[in-house]
Chain A
Amino acid sequence: MAMIRMSSPLARAIGLGSAKEGVEHWWAQRVTAVALVPLVLWFVIAVIGLVGADRAAVIAWVKSPMPAVFLILLLVATFYHTALGLQVVIEDYVHSEGLRLGTLMVMRFLCIVLALRGVIAVLMMALGA
């Protein structure tokens, strides 16, 4: 027996459910997760080498010069992944629509501010005198 389809041919071709989204979120979370595996392992090893180091040693390390590149990649992947993850948590637990929208906006804003603060700090150390 053929299944009765209520959706239009266009809706069937696009292949999205009633939410109209979700695939990009799911995929971006995985892509950032895969990127973060080597970046986090690299960062942990680098930080262990810098335990107790003075500021001059940290700046020399950032300038060396690949750490600056990897740090910026780490910051971008971390805050993208964080924003996606916290979005799901907020959507699960904050039921009032207005409060949920406000919480999501504040969360994303904080992620962007922290990411920019980190990236600019790395750039200033990498490019500074």
Chain B
Amino acid sequence: MMSDPRPLSPHLQIYRWQLTSVMSILHRASGVALAVGTILLVSWLGAASDGPEPYAALQHFLASWLGLLLLFGWSVALFYHLSNGIRHLVWDTGHGLDLRSVYVGGWIVLAATAGLTIVAWIAGISHWRP
């Protein structure tokens, strides 16, 4: 049988990205990142419970450049997954499923992610008592 040379499924290299598909994959990626990030949450609680030395070691690590970078990435993933998760919950009620609402909601989620991240870090840095 001769195969038709027409292009089949989208080739990712030449596929035009859309806000909708990018945000969909980012929801999953941020979820997986947060799953890894739960180790940070449990390490913090565990270190505080275990004693002064483990807690001091964890605090020292979190204040390092790598620690701060991990915390920053974790906060972005958290605020994105939280905002986009609320968008998904709205969809689950059957609302906002038309094309315009899906795009407006997407931009609101991106703005909320940036806004919450900036506010949280400004508040955190202003609270820092090293």
Question: Is A37 part of the contact surface with B, judged by Cβ < 8 Å?
Answer: yes
| Chain B window 72-92, contacts with chain A (Cβ cutoff 8 Å), 1 for yes, 0 for no | 000100100010011011001
Question: Is A95 part of the contact surface with B, judged by Cβ < 8 Å?
Answer: no
With known contacts A48-B120, A51-B128, A34–B89 Cβ distance under 8 A: yes
Q: How far is A55 from B31 in the complex, measured between Cα atoms in Å? A: 29
Question: Is A89 part of the contact surface with B, judged by Cβ < 8 Å?
Answer: yes
Which residues of A have CB within 8 Å of B103? none
B35 touches A118 (CB 8 A): no
- B21 CB to nearest chain A CB (Å): 15
With known contacts A51-B128, A82-B34, A114–B39 Cβ distance under 8 A: yes
B85 touches A55 (CB 8 A): no
B48 touches A55 (CB 8 A): yes
- A54 CB to nearest chain B CB (Å): 8
Interface of A is mostly: helix
B39 touches A44 (CB 8 A): no
Question: Is B124 part of the contact surface with A, judged by Cβ < 8 Å?
Answer: yes
With known contacts A118-B45, A121-B45, A37–B86 Cβ distance under 8 A: yes
A52 touches B38 (CB 8 A): no
Interface size on A, residues (CB 8 A): 36
Q: How far is A51 from B128 in the complex, measured between Cα atoms in Å? A: 5
A55 touches B42 (CB 8 A): no
Question: Is B28 part of the contact surface with A, judged by Cβ < 8 Å?
Answer: yes
With known contacts A58-B48, A86-B32, A124-B49, A51–B127 Cβ distance under 8 A: yes
Question: Is A40 part of the contact surface with B, judged by Cβ < 8 Å?
Answer: yes
A118 touches B127 (CB 8 A): no
| Chain B window 26-61, contacts with chain A (Cβ cutoff 8 Å), 1 for yes, 0 for no | 001001101100110110011011111001100000
Question: Is B12 part of the contact surface with A, judged by Cβ < 8 Å?
Answer: no
Which residues of B have CB within 8 Å of A53? 129
* Closest partner residue, chain A, to B53 (CB atom): A55
Point out residues on A near B: beta carbons under 8 Å.
30, 33-34, 36-37, 40-41, 44, 47-49, 51-55, 58-59, 62, 71, 75, 78-79, 82, 85-86, 89, 114, 117-118, 120-122, 124-125, 128
